[in-house]
Structure 1
């Protein structure tokens, strides 16, 4: 079972453990327009899948703003940030923060993305939220980069994720 940390305390992660080289599971979340958003599987573009607990935290907001800028400079991937926020809150966040270069989706209903990618926090005070993680999926649908951030309150390794995107194209 995979683990992460929340302020120094171990948190178990539930769902399917996937690793680099595995096929990226196809999973669905809810977009800000209340329609389904599908992530994973083979697509015509490289995918950057980011999971965060909630856009309504400083770290998650900073990460989303940073990737919004970074992926705009690359223009070579489809980027989706998945949180447990309600779609209305996600839409408000994007509008307020000027997020235009990536999509946000909510996993609040079935937690399908979090379970499929093994990032559903299963205990501790954050039970039921997604861990902070980054996956890069190549066009054939293979996971080519995975980072489950060791401390959920910390930001990911942006440079490593962006390099994986460049290599995957």
Structure 2
């Protein structure tokens, strides 16, 4: 399990996030239109997975805004934001914020994404939600960059994540 903190208080995740150089585990999640999306739907494009506990928190919302702005200029790259929020909440946020360069996917149904990527928080007040993680994949699903933010209220290292795409 990975040890992270929430406002300085220790919490743990199920395990360790997938390592750079490995193939990303497949996933099936729900898009805001309630369709299913799998990792294979993104084959041939680079992929930035921006993963967080809930769109309704300041840091999570900021990460979506930052990646939305960056995504407009990324070549052959899709940015997917992942949380356990309901697809309706994700759509509401994107509509209200004018977010249109990133995709939102929900792991609300069974949490299998968070479990398979071992980033689900296992204890504390955010138990069963996702920890803050960024994973960058190449066109074939190989992990180029992975970061689990040690303090969940902190933002990820956007610059390093985007550099991995070059």
TM-score for both structures, normalised by structure 2: 0.94
Mapped partners of 2:137, 2:79: distance in 1: 10
> Which SS does the other structure have where 1:120 is aligned?
coil
Q: Is the 8 A contact 1:52 1:60 kept in 2?
A: yes
Q: Is the 8 A contact 1:15 1:114 kept in 2?
A: no
Q: Is the 8 A contact 2:43 2:139 kept in 1?
A: yes
CA pair 41-4 structure 1, distance change in 2 beyond 3 A: farther
Structure 1: unaligned runs, 5 residues or longer:
none
> Which SS does the other structure have where 2:93 is aligned?
helix
Mapped partners of 1:60, 1:40: distance in 2: 26
RMSD, matched Cα: 1.6
Poorly superposed stretches of 4+, deviation over 2 Å: 39-42
TM-score for both structures, normalised by structure 1: 0.93
Q: Is the 8 A contact 1:40 1:137 kept in 2?
A: no
Range that drifts further, 91-100 or 30-39: 30-39
Residue 138 of structure 2 corresponds to 138
How far is the alpha carbon of 1:51 from its aligned partner?
0.7
> Which SS does the other structure have where 1:114 is aligned?
helix
How far is the alpha carbon of 1:7 from its aligned partner?
0.8
Structure 2: unaligned runs, 5 residues or longer:
none
Q: Is the 8 A contact 2:2 2:15 kept in 1?
A: no
Range that drifts further, 68-77 or 144-153: 68-77
Mapped partners of 1:2, 1:51: distance in 2: 16
Mapped partners of 1:88, 1:156: distance in 2: 25
Mapped partners of 2:113, 2:94: distance in 1: 20
CA pair 42-35 structure 1, distance change in 2 beyond 3 A: closer
How far is the alpha carbon of 1:153 from its aligned partner?
0.4
How far is the alpha carbon of 1:11 from its aligned partner?
1.4
Residue 54 of structure 1 corresponds to 54
